[in-house]
Amino acid sequence: MELNTIKDAFDRVAKKQKLSSSKTQEVMEQLGQEIEQALSKIRSVHDNTASQLDHKLILTELKTKLKEIAPLSHLEGTQKELNIALSKYPKLLEKSFNPDLAKAYRNVDFDIHTVNQIIASHFYQEGLFDLGDCFLSEAKEADAAALKTPYLEMYQILEAMRSQNLEAALNWAATNHDKLQQNGSDLELKLHRLQFIEILQKRGRDEAFKYARTFLVPFASNHMAEIQKLMACLLWAGRLDTSPYSELLSPIHWDKLAEELIRQFCNLLGQSYKSPLSVTIAAGVQGLPTLLKLMNVMTGKKQEWQSMKQLPIPVDLDREFQFHSIFVCPVSRDQASEENPPMLLSCGHVLCKQSITKLSKNNSTRPFKCPYCPSEVEAGQCRQLYF
Amino acid sequence: METLSNGTTASPTATATVVSSATVTAPSSKLTQLAESLKLEHQFLRVPFEHYKKTIRANHRIVEKEMSAVISSVAEAADGDLSREDAVQHLNSLVSRLQGLKRKLEEGSRTEHLQAQRCRARLDHLESADTESLSEWNNTRLTRILVDYMLRLSYYDTAIKLAESCNIQDLVDVDVFHEAKKVIDALQNKEVAPALVWCADNKSRLKKSKSKFEFQLRLQEFIELLAFKSSTECATYKVLFETKQWDYLVDQFKQEFCRLYGMTLEPLLNIYLQAGLSALKTPFCYEDDCTKEDPLSQESFRNLALQLPFSKQHHSKLVCYITKELMDTENPPLVLPNGYVYSTKALEEMAAKNNGKITCPRTGSVYNYSAVVKAYIS
């Protein structure tokens, strides 16, 4: 596809359109003039006594003249050129693009309510509360706003953080202390650290020390090094920017912390960090070209396509869409499953259980050659792997 | 299958040229991917063009009609027996008629101009996609897809609001759907007139696609005229009077409408969702410990994917349980004595922090780093 060619083709259409439009103008102008001329002629013969005949003559003259000019036939030429350009351009589009995206569409009914719910959740997750509300009321979905309240809370916390207010964030982190710890997140400590630095900068050493004693001490057992660093900051009160710890003042910490908060908040909500709708659509954009190519070779097998349990070809997606470990046996090309798990041979190569059974002729002590190296291995010595 | 893989390998060289001038640094696979995704934008360019074409045609029809009317009116006057005053008056009326036409045309060409600009804006938007600033472009695409969905489902207010909030009015087809709205609203009120007008406006194109829509409209109109309405008990006829018939007509109209403008018959959202879900769907998505980052961990997405095929892999793709990073030759998988596999990076880091000890996060077993072995995945 060459966008420039398409642009050129469109410019041609626009040019022909202009041409046709000015030609129309011109012809119309001419027609008007002729009529007005005739009109003034009739008027000018006003005093003439033989006028009865004259105005008829003028009208007939006008009629023949208009016939001669044939204004509409003048337009035909430019119109024809315009029409050619108009029909060429969509053909070029069809050639350069995939004209029918629905070719790979499976005729299953997508439940409208489910889709609407997904869209509303997407709006709420992105912080577009007005749009979400508007959408739900227009789509007449009454109870799809479940995620609105929690996301409202999240955006309020973030809003406060933007104006350097950590109160709400700290409250939230304290309430969810246990869950955060389960996730292995040190978000709470990071928030306290930021608050500590804020106090140190704005309210001085004593206040900061007090804060540390109340809020940082509980973290001492697990994060000694971090706490020690913060205590050292107390010595640099008032001139932290020239201290070895000036890095702590960087505004980057705020951004990073906001991101971490969103991540943890969504996680505790049972939601993903990125809107699942955007992720799926992005995956769709990457996968669709392959599916459309597949449909080109599947012509005549439309029926088969509608009922397939698995895609006949791999659809390659970027790294970011890889959420699960998938082991494909290099011998049988089967995807590993619970019944057919991946096994580690003693030489370090990995095959699926069924392949090993076949290679060893179902004898656990009979050595067989690894298909990937010269080692002799035994089925009995193979270990199941968990990815 | 072989022909297909040949096809996919052949295309990069052909398509990569599109954007190669824009960015030289990005890897060619990214460029190919971008070029492939741009090829999906047929409707994006087609719809405004069809709209533009329609306006041009309509304007031209007006000119033709009015001009020939003026000419034949002159002829009539010349052949008739008009008094002088009448002749003057007649010509005067023709002059003002032409002036009216002129005004109409000026207005028409303003619309044409706006629509041509819209076509250009879309071309420019496609051109503006490059691998550097793709995420913003992708967000806009999602918004466009959502607006398309809302317009098709007649959620006009939200559609307009969303387009305005993202300032992409030129990139969505709100105007085009305005025309549809009138017809749909009328059909929902059991009125066929606007739909019939629409059919008349698009007669030749509907004929070309062998559409039966007009016939169905007439049929419905006829049924509504019948006096013994809905009182019939005969099942064959009773069904004709059900309100469902009107919903059916609305659906029919939407289909014809989309066909006429070169749109996909399904909302873009559904098409992309299906493709995405099929590509993402694995048996692991339905397990309890499915990561929340996977859209298919959500009940709603699982429901949509229920009737879609699973994805297929020809090669192993292993993701480290701890770091969620890909385990490949650069970060090869290591096996603990209990058979659990983690990436080298994750285990090295853990060993460094804990004096060479490794704790399996899933079983809690503790091992020495020296006890792990490498697994070779081919």
Do A121 and A260 reside in the same domain of the chain?
Answer: yes
Judge whether B120 lies within some domain.
yes
Predicted confidence at residue A169, as pLDDT, reads 94
Tell me the H-state helices in chain B: 2-15, 17-20, 28-38, 42-79, 84-127, 134-152, 156-165, 174-188, 193-201, 203-208, 213-225, 235-238, 244-260, 268-280, 299-305, 344-353
Do A127 and A27 reside in the same domain of the chain?
Answer: no
- CA dist B5 → A314, A315, A328, B11, B35 (Å): 10, 11, 19, 10, 18
Do B324 and B372 reside in the same domain of the chain?
Answer: yes
- Please, what is the end-to-end C-alpha distance for chain A in angstroms? 42
Do A258 and A122 reside in the same domain of the chain?
Answer: yes
Do B85 and B115 reside in the same domain of the chain?
Answer: yes
Do A208 and A330 reside in the same domain of the chain?
Answer: no
Q: What is the DSSP string of A100-166?
A: -GGGG----PPPHHHHHHHHHHHHHHTT-HHHHHHHHHHTT-SS--TTHHHHHHHHHHHHHHHTT--
Do B56 and B76 reside in the same domain of the chain?
Answer: yes
Do B279 and B340 reside in the same domain of the chain?
Answer: no
Do A82 and A167 reside in the same domain of the chain?
Answer: no
Which of the pair, A52 or A36, is modelled with greater confidence?
A36
Predicted confidence at residue B246, as pLDDT, reads 86
Judge whether A278 lies within some domain.
no
% of chain A at pLDDT higher than 70: 98
The residue-averaged pLDDT of A190-200 equals 92
Do B67 and B112 reside in the same domain of the chain?
Answer: yes
Q: Scanning every residue of chain A, which has its alpha carbon at the shortest distance from the alpha carbon of B294?
A: A323
With beta carbons less than 8 A apart as the criterion, state whether A115 and B145 touch.
Answer: no
Do A387 and A331 reside in the same domain of the chain?
Answer: yes
CA nearest neighbour of A371 among A381, A352, A383, A387? A352
**B366 phi, psi to nearest 5 deg:** -115, 130
Mean pLDDT for all residues in chain B: 86
Q: What is the DSSP string of A336-352?
A: P-SSS-EEE-TTSBEEE
Amino acid at B93: S
CA nearest neighbour of B91 among A43, A48, A72? A43
- Could you tell me the pLDDT band of residue A220, with boundaries at 50, 70 and 90? confident
The residue-averaged pLDDT of A11-16 equals 94
Query: Which tokens hold the place of B114?
Result: 């706006």
Residue in A62, A290, A347 nearest the CB of B78: A62
User: What is the domain count for chain A?
Assistant: 3
- Could you tell me the pLDDT band of residue B227, with boundaries at 50, 70 and 90? low
Predicted confidence at residue B228, as pLDDT, reads 55
Predicted confidence at residue B10, as pLDDT, reads 40
pLDDT digits (tens, 9 = 90+) for B20-41: 334 345 578 888 999 999 999 9
With a cut of 50, say whether residue B4 has pLDDT above it: no
Do B350 and B278 reside in the same domain of the chain?
Answer: no
Say which range, A40-44, B5-9, B364-368, has the weakest mean pLDDT.
Answer: B5-9
Judge whether B143 lies within some domain.
no
Predicted confidence at residue A364, as pLDDT, reads 82
Among A323, A335, A338, A382, most B C-beta atoms within 10 A, so best to mutate, is A323
pLDDT digits (tens, 9 = 90+) for A93-141: 999 999 999 988 988 888 999 999 999 999 999 999 999 999 999 999 9
Judge whether A46 lies within some domain.
yes
Residue in A27, A97, A327 nearest the CB of B318: A327
Judge whether B229 lies within some domain.
no
Q: Scanning every residue of chain A, which has its alpha carbon at the shortest distance from the alpha carbon of B265?
A: A102
Q: Scanning every residue of chain A, which has its alpha carbon at the shortest distance from the alpha carbon of B21?
A: A2
The residue-averaged pLDDT of B240-258 equals 85
pLDDT digits (tens, 9 = 90+) for A234-270: 888 888 888 888 888 888 999 999 999 999 999 999 9
Q: Are the beta carbons of A314 and B314 separated by less than 8 Å?
A: yes
**A128–chain B Cβ distance below 8 A for any pair:** yes
With a cut of 70, say whether residue B183 has pLDDT above it: yes
Q: Are the beta carbons of B155 and A82 separated by less than 8 Å?
A: no
3-state secondary structure at position B83 = coil
Say which range, A180-194, B109-123, B167-181, has the weakest mean pLDDT.
Answer: A180-194
Q: What is the DSSP string of B226-265?
A: -TTTTT---HHHHGGGSTHHHHHHHHHHHHHHHHHTT--S
CA nearest neighbour of A323 among B137, B277, B30? B277
Predicted confidence at residue B19, as pLDDT, reads 38
What residue numbers bound the domain in which A25 lies? 2-96
Judge whether A273 lies within some domain.
no
Judge whether A204 lies within some domain.
yes
Do A160 and A127 reside in the same domain of the chain?
Answer: yes
With a cut of 60, say whether residue A47 has pLDDT above it: no
CA nearest neighbour of B261 among B179, B322, B325? B179
Do A150 and A255 reside in the same domain of the chain?
Answer: yes
- Could you tell me the pLDDT band of residue B15, with boundaries at 50, 70 and 90? very low
- Could you tell me the pLDDT band of residue A91, with boundaries at 50, 70 and 90? very high
- Could you tell me the pLDDT band of residue B170, with boundaries at 50, 70 and 90? very high
pLDDT digits (tens, 9 = 90+) for A312-324: 999 989 888 999 9
Pairing of strands A342-344, B373-374: unpaired
Which of the pair, B52 or A242, is modelled with greater confidence?
B52
What residue numbers bound the domain in which B66 lies? 43-129
Mean pLDDT for all residues in chain A: 89
The residue-averaged pLDDT of B77-91 equals 84
Domain boundary among A236, A268, A300: A268
User: What is the domain count for chain B?
Assistant: 3
Do B351 and B285 reside in the same domain of the chain?
Answer: no
**A332-366 CB burial, b ≥16 within 10 A, e <16:** eeebbeeebbbbbbeebbbbbbbbbbebbeeeeee
Q: Scanning every residue of chain A, which has its alpha carbon at the shortest distance from the alpha carbon of B289?
A: A324
Q: Answer yes or no: is the ipTM higher than 0.95.
A: no
Judge whether A216 lies within some domain.
yes
Do A327 and A194 reside in the same domain of the chain?
Answer: no
Do B295 and B326 reside in the same domain of the chain?
Answer: no
Judge whether A287 lies within some domain.
no
Judge whether A206 lies within some domain.
yes
Judge whether A151 lies within some domain.
yes
CATH for A338: 3.30.40.10
With beta carbons less than 8 A apart as the criterion, state whether A369 and B359 touch.
Answer: no
Query: Which tokens hold the place of A114?
Result: 């489910």
Do B70 and B103 reside in the same domain of the chain?
Answer: yes
With a cut of 80, say whether residue A358 has pLDDT above it: yes
Query: Which tokens hold the place of A377?
Result: 């291995």
Say which range, A239-248, B11-20, B110-119, has the weakest mean pLDDT.
Answer: B11-20
Do B323 and B348 reside in the same domain of the chain?
Answer: yes
CA nearest neighbour of A271 among B280, B294, B269, B274? B294
Dihedral over Cα of B200, B203, B205, B206: its sign: positive
Do A154 and A89 reside in the same domain of the chain?
Answer: no
Judge whether B215 lies within some domain.
no
CATH for B339: 3.30.40
- Could you tell me the pLDDT band of residue A41, with boundaries at 50, 70 and 90? confident
Judge whether B30 lies within some domain.
no
